[in-house]
Amino acid sequence: MKRYAVYRTSAAPASRKLGSIGLALAVIALLAKRFDLIDADVFVLSLVAAAVVAMLAMLLALFAFNRIWTRGGPGVPAALTGTFFALLALTPSALLIGLLTLHPGTHDLSTDRAQPPEIKAEVVLTRTPFLTWLDTALANHVWPVVALTKGGEEPAEAVNTARYPDIVSRRYRITTAQLHAAGVKAMDGLSWTIVDELPPDLLDAATRLQAQGTSQLLGLKTDIVLRIQPDPVGALLDVRARSRTPLRDLSGNVDHIRSVFAEIDRVLLETYGDLARLAVDESDLEDVELQPEPAGEPRDTIPLPGFKPYFEEEDATVPDGVDATDLEG
C-alpha cells in the first residue's frame, strides 16, 4: 500500500518557539524591574522587544493555520501554543500603553496646585531619556486627540481638579506638632521610608516630611511630601506625590495621596477617638470662621504651677510698685 507524504508546516513550531521567547523576555523584564535591577528605559525597551517577538509569533501562527487549512497535516497544537504565549507576552506591553495614554498628567500631583510642596533631591526624569521623549510625544500628539474626542481640550489643572475633587488641602483642629506626629506614624504604617524631615520646634511651627514609596507590582519609586502649616483652624496639610519616571503602576499618585489621608485619619481616630471633631470641611470655612480647639478634654479647674516662685537671694528687694521694672537704670 502506497503511503503519501504528510505535509508539515514549519511555521507552527517556529510560532511556538518565538512565543516562548517573547514571554520569557517579558517575564524577565518584569522581575528585573520589580527588584530594581534595570532602569525604566531598559524595562520599556525590553517590553517593546517582547511585543515585537510576540507579534511575529502570532503572524507565524496565523500563517500556519492557513497552510494547515489548505494542505492539512499536523501543527495545530504548536500554533495554538505559540498564539497563547504571544498573547501573554503582549499583555504587559498593552497594559503599559494603556496606563501611559489613558491617565495623562498624574505623575506629579499635589493638593495645592498653585504652590505645591517642595521636593528635595531632584531625581525625577534624570536617567530616562527614552521615557521622557515618549511622554513628551504622547502629550503633544496623543492626549490632545483624546481630549478633543471627549468634548474639547481643557487645561491640565482644570482636568485634575474635575477628575480628582477629593485631592485638596485639609485642615485639622490640632496643632502642627500633633499633625506632624500623626504624619510620621502614617508613613510608618504605609511602610514608606522618611528621607527628609523638618521637625517642629514649637507647637504651631511649620513642618514638612518627605518619604519614598515603592509600588508593589513594578517597584516604581515615588516621592511623597507632607507640608504642615499653621492655620486659623489649627493646622493645614498639603500632600504632593511625584513619580521618578513617567511610568505608572496599577496604583498611581492619586492613590498615594488618598492613602496618606486615610492613614492619617486612622492614626488620629486611634489617638483622639473623635475624627469628626478634628477634621474640617473646606465648605464650612466660607461661612463660619472656626477657631482652633484643643485636642484634650476641657478642664473644670484652672491648672496651677507645680512649684512656688522664689527668689535666689533671700535679701533681694521686691519692687514696691506694680509699674516698677528691673530695666530702669
CB 230 within 8 A of CB 204: yes
Supply angle C-alpha 105, 111, 115, rounded to 5: 90
Residue 287, pLDDT > 60, answer no
Q: Tens of pLDDT along 179-198? A: 999 999 999 999 999 999 99
pLDDT for residue 247: 78
Cell of 144: 490632545
Q: At what angle do helices 40-71 and 76-102 cross, to 10 degrees?
A: 140
Residue 155, pLDDT > 50, answer no
pLDDT for residue 325: 46
Mean pLDDT of the chain: 80
Average pLDDT over residues 211-230: 90
Residue 93, pLDDT > 50, answer yes
The CA-atom distances, in angstroms, between 187 and each of 229, 256, 311 are: 18, 11, 48
Average pLDDT over residues 101-129: 74
- Round to whole Å and give the CA distance between 172 and 234: 6
Residue 77, pLDDT > 80, answer yes
pLDDT for residue 124: 46
pLDDT for residue 121: 67
Q: Span 108-280: which CATH code?
A: 3.30.310.80
Residue 172, pLDDT > 60, answer yes
Q: Tens of pLDDT along 143-152? A: 666 666 655 4
- Phi/psi of residue 241, nearest 5 degrees: -130, 130
Q: What percent of the chain has pLDDT over 90?
A: 43
Q: Which band of pLDDT confidence, cut at 50, 70 and 90, is reported for residue 104? A: low
Q: Which band of pLDDT confidence, cut at 50, 70 and 90, is reported for residue 295? A: low
Domain ranges for the chain: 11-102, 108-280
Q: Which band of pLDDT confidence, cut at 50, 70 and 90, is reported for residue 34? A: confident
pLDDT for residue 128: 74
Residue 173, pLDDT > 80, answer yes
pLDDT for residue 36: 85
Average pLDDT over residues 80-93: 94
Q: Tens of pLDDT along 226-279? A: 999 999 989 999 999 998 887 777 678 888 999 999 999 999 999 888 777 787
- Give the highest mean pLDDT range of 68-77, 98-107, 159-168: 68-77
Average pLDDT over residues 47-73: 92
- Round to whole Å and give the CA distance between 247 and 55: 23
Give pTM, 2 decimals: 0.71
Average pLDDT over residues 207-215: 92
Q: Which of 213, 238, 242 is nearest to 227 (CA)?
A: 238
